[in-house]
A and B are shown apart, each in its own frame.
Chain A
Amino acid sequence: MNAERIKDDELSDEPVPVMQQLLDNPFLLLFLGIAMPTVLYIVWGVMEIVSLPIAK
């Protein structure tokens, strides 16, 4: 492999901070980025609309 790829001396044993683990996980972010607006905007909004009484 070439020098651009991982060099051993750049790998450290320090634990990765939790926040960085979150930021480094695109699929967890994808889940959060979909769940938040789905629940707070769409589901909440749609629940309010369907609970409106229908005019007679």
Chain B
Amino acid sequence: MSEVTLTVNGREVKRDVEDRTLLVTFLREHLGLTGTHVGCDTSQCGACTVHIDGNAVKSCTVLAAQVDGSSVTTIEGLADGDTLHPMQAAFREHHGLQCGFCTPGMIMMAVEIVKRHPQGLDEKTIRKELEGNICRCTGYHNIVKAIDTAAKTMQGQPAMAAE
């Protein structure tokens, strides 16, 4: 067993967990934060993406004990109270989700993609950067539009047309 202390969505939490506990299991089972999803067992789908100290990480690939002391943000902690994060708002505005299962991971990854490209994003770059996140419903068309729009909002530029 290990004692793991994390700051999750701004709140400090401490739990005793088996050494082999994955971060995604810690979040879902021990903290009840079920917004972070599990879609695969080979670290390919990205449904489990969260931010660890500001970086997007697949939470199925790290042990909770490994990130002891870190600050973790999950999809539940992304909005500012009732005000959606621009990426959440853009996913809704552009119909970037259907079943919603890939969505939390997509949004968490997308936020980081925007951060890593302060110079701005084009469609090709967005698509390339999404290679670690699988969506089976949307064909990505509207996800790409949503990320482009959110990037421009987050970076203070005009967005491309809605369709």
Question: Do A and B truly interact?
Answer: no
Which residue numbers of B lie inside 8 Å of A, CB to CB? none
Q: Which residues in A have some Cβ–Cβ distance to B below 8 Å?
A: none
